[in-house]
Amino acid sequence: MAGTFDISLDSLAGRSVPAEDVSSECLSDSLQPIRKDRKAPKTAPCATGMRDGATFFLETFGCQMNDHDSEKVAGVLLSRGYRQVESPDAASLVLYNTCSIREKAAQKVFSRLGEYRTKQAAGQVIGVLGCVAQQEGEEIFARAPWVSLVCGSASYRKLPELLAQVEAGHQRVTGLNNDTDETFETPVTRRDNPWRAYLTIIEGCDKACAYCVVPFTRGPERSRASDSVLKEVRELADLGYSEVQLLGQTVNSYADPSSRRMRFSELLLAVADVPGMRRVRFTTSHPRDFGADIVAALESQPKLCNHVHLPVQSGSTKVLRGMVRTYTRDEYLEKIAMLRKAKRPIAITTDIIVGFPGETEADFAETLSLLEEVQYDALFSFKYSPRPNTPSLSMPDAISEEEKSRRLAVLQEKQRGIQSKRNASMINTMFEVLVSGKSRRENQWSGHTSCHRVINFTSQEQNLLGTYVQVLVTGAGPNSLAGEQVT
Ligand code: 5AD
Ligand code: SF4
């Protein structure tokens, strides 16, 4: 995809899958890319003193939840005296945070572990974290005996204890329970982005979509107490963050475990009220729990970004039933109608799976007609990938890889046309942009609008990074806008 087209959307899609598996919409994003090889950024050494030169290298695959888990894991390690390094060769501890949402992402793990082994320096400890760790468990030790630590995301809370065991020289340390009712909170999180902070408010998933491994790999839903969330938002504001993105596999299923019993929409408003916070985002919403109160909150509080990611997965009620998505096409469209009626325009994006078992040509045509009807601002599309333990694994009428690829291409082409038109209609409008990138080209900058479009723009000013500017749109491609700063 051309580098200029660049819409950046924060689905919780596991994005480390190979390019051919996913829609081009998510390939070239500046903030949330498919980073096949996300090496650690440079970080300051820890304040609490060095653990005798101990260093760690942490590589992350997958969704924003994984990105943010890695930020918290890095925080735990820094507070134990480790220093973060940018190459596995230089590290005493090599950690690999994995994704298993689609098969190809999961397959990568063992080839990567093979690479680590060949490079493995004497005494180096290798650990596997995340969804593949949870899914494969001790099998990882059998296939890669040079691994010493296997820890699923539901057990990160125990990470300090597990690390202590690793440091004491234990060979096969595991954290694999996912029956915890606690969330992973750390006193120190080492965040990668200086302006936008991720903040997980709900972990795990209690839905049971027939194709999805997440309920197995991330365990049951656990929400974080609203007071604790708000305290962290205040801390983030004090540190200079002006944008916060609330995360959860089903973020709007948030259920405050504290006596305040805040609803998700109330929490959104309370987060937006924290002095210093200018933008609040949230992802991913499940259509079933998406109520009128969330739309009312978006209408009443402009700090809540006007973008909702509402995965539909299919436009066919028959397929939705097979997927156990718990809504029909018409019920989903009612949620869309609610959003479209809002007092300010709200960008809507979605996830779609093509080639679910039994998906006929007519079912697929219904997905295409849904795209036409909704006019999404962007979409993430995936070929169905059979996953271990999931109910759809044993469903009849599998669709061939060739046909899945064909449908994916047709879907993406259709969406490209829709996006081209939608973005072109924005020429001559003004957007507030949080500036997050500076091009090597003179006077060229980039950032995001509240509706989460990427906009590349010109400005004669210096030092714009992290500031908010007004930009007039002068051009548009299917995946990004172009413009100039207006002073
Ligand atoms: N195959 C293909 N896509 C999947 N997703 C989740 N599980 C699968 C699977 N087995 C997609 C869904 C979800 C996104 C995060 O990943 O579209 O919304
Ligand atoms: Fe997976 Fe469905 Fe839960 Fe999303 S809502 S994480 S697709 S089981």
Q: What is the pLDDT of residues 261-315, one digit of tens each?
A: 999 999 999 999 999 999 999 999 999 999 999 999 999 999 999 999 999 999 9
pLDDT per residue as tens digits for the range 461-476: 999 999 999 999 999 9
* Residues, the chain: 487
Mutate to test the pocket of ligand 2, among 209, 312, 350 (most ligand atoms within 8 A of CB): 209
CA 297 – ligand 1 centroid, Å: 28
Residue 214 near ligand 2, beta carbon < 6 Å: yes
Residue 207 near ligand 2, beta carbon < 6 Å: yes
pLDDT at 51: 60
- Taking 70 as the threshold, does the pLDDT of residue 73 lie above it? yes
pLDDT at 45: 36
CA 104 – ligand 2 centroid, Å: 18
The overall average pLDDT reported for the chain is 88
pLDDT at 244: 98
CA 43 – ligand 2 centroid, Å: 33
Q: Among 16-20, 136-140, 197-201, 274-278, where is mean pLDDT lowest?
A: 16-20
Question: What CA–CA distance (Å, rounded) separates 322 from 393?
Answer: 12
Mutate to test the pocket of ligand 2, among 134, 153, 205 (most ligand atoms within 8 A of CB): 205
Residue 411 near ligand 2, beta carbon < 6 Å: no
pLDDT per residue as tens digits for the range 218-252: 999 999 999 999 999 999 999 999 999 999 999 99
20-29, 44-53, 363-372, range with greatest mean pLDDT = 363-372
pTM of the model: 0.89
Q: Say which residue, 450 or 192, is predicted with more confidence.
A: 450
pLDDT per residue as tens digits for the range 164-181: 999 898 989 999 987 777
Ligand 1 pocket residues where CB is under 6 Å = 11-13, 101-102, 211-212, 311, 313, 351, 353, 382, 384-385, 387
CA 335 – ligand 2 centroid, Å: 18
Mutate to test the pocket of ligand 2, among 11, 65, 212 (most ligand atoms within 8 A of CB): 212
pLDDT per residue as tens digits for the range 90-138: 899 999 999 999 998 888 888 889 888 876 767 789 999 999 999 999 9
pLDDT at 52: 67
Q: Say which residue, 212 or 487, is predicted with more confidence.
A: 212
